[in-house]
Amino acid sequence: MRKLLNTLYITTPESYLSKDGQNVVVSVRQREVFRIPIINIEGIVTFGYMGASPGLMKLCSDNNVSLTFLSPHGRFISRIQGKTKGNVLLRKRQYQLADDAEWSLHLAQIIISGKIQNYRNILRRYLRDYGFNVDVKNAAQLLDTYKREIFRCQNKDILIGVEGMAANRYFDVFPHLLTQQRDVFPFSGRSRRPPKDAINAMLSLAYTLLTNDVTAALETVGLDPYVGFLHTLRPGRTSLALDLVEELRAYMGDRFVLSLINRRQVSPKDFIFQGDKGVQLTENGRRTFLSAWQTRKKDTIVHPFLNEKISVGLVPYAQAMLLARYIRNDIDDYPVYLIK
């Protein structure tokens, strides 16, 4: 299993990135504020529009360090990578299977059923830890029904419809999962562009960071992150990364956001409310969020299929590796990631 290094997050919007020898240099208003050797990081994520020097881009490319640009709101702008690496035969097989409707539907069913099961397990854990709640119990039962329906779907359009109903039911009861600060963190369902409340702002940022990690993981094992089996192909869209994010968003995104609120690591003062323009984290709130994100990725778990201890941050790499094995016919089926 690959070693989990650190991701460098640049949260000050006025920051400009450059290189000095083998070091990444961060400057604000032409004054150096931070530097770090390139060998100590695996990725750079910057929030802002100031950019990076061509020299820094080449340094990242030469050292296989991803460089991702997000807007101050956390919306994805672009990602820079070096030469395409990986087994060309694996990618050829991936492209062939992407055109196989039956094979693609089967994988999509596995991934979405796993997503719904993870939703259900989060609700069941709440019931186990905090006692009976009729709304949460009914939602958990309905999610079990939706999960079974997924394998009766005859095409991806029907599957996406069932997945949408399951997600809506899950997010209907999401406020019940807030055991602290419920009165100051209102939530009335998913909203994306822009996020209409603080919870949606955090969920969107968590999903963006997760997508970035999954994209890097797919590239590492030799798969093309732009050619997926569930999400449609679109120029610039990492469709395969979005496929794998579906099974991981409840565990690595939703649980993380809930923990930030329930542990009182964030409060309403960490957000800027902009009316019709939505809600975004303050610079201090973003630092708190990213610091907790990095800490969470270092936690150790036992992978349910591999039965090995790995850090949470390596879960995307484990799933990418297992997907590559499935595409190569090294394993009989894809073992979707399921939480307890």
Q: What is the pLDDT along the chain (340 residues), one digit of tens a residue?
A: 455 567 788 877 788 999 999 999 999 888 998 989 998 887 888 877 778 899 999 998 888 887 888 777 666 777 776 666 567 889 999 999 999 999 999 999 999 999 999 999 999 999 998 888 899 999 999 999 999 999 999 999 999 999 999 999 999 999 999 999 989 999 988 887 788 999 999 999 999 999 988 998 888 788 999 999 999 888 878 999 999 999 999 999 999 999 999 999 999 999 998 877 788 899 899 999 999 998 998 899 999 998 888 889 889 989 998 999 999 999 999 999 999 8
* 151, two tokens: 């394998």
Sheet with 31-37, strands from edge to edge, namely 15-20, 23-28, 31-37
Cα angle value 301/304/310 (rounded, 5°): 30
What local confidence, expressed as pLDDT, does residue 77 receive? 77
Q: Which of 89, 80, 85, 94 is nearest to 236 (CA)?
A: 80
Q: d(Cα 190, Cα 187) in Å, to the nearest integer?
A: 8
Q: How far is CA 68 from CA 73, 110, 122, in A?
A: 14, 30, 31
CA 246 to chain centre: 8
- Residues in contact with 201: Cβ distance below 8 Å, sequence separation at least 6, in sequence order: 73, 74, 195, 271, 278, 279, 280, 281
pTM for this prediction: 0.82
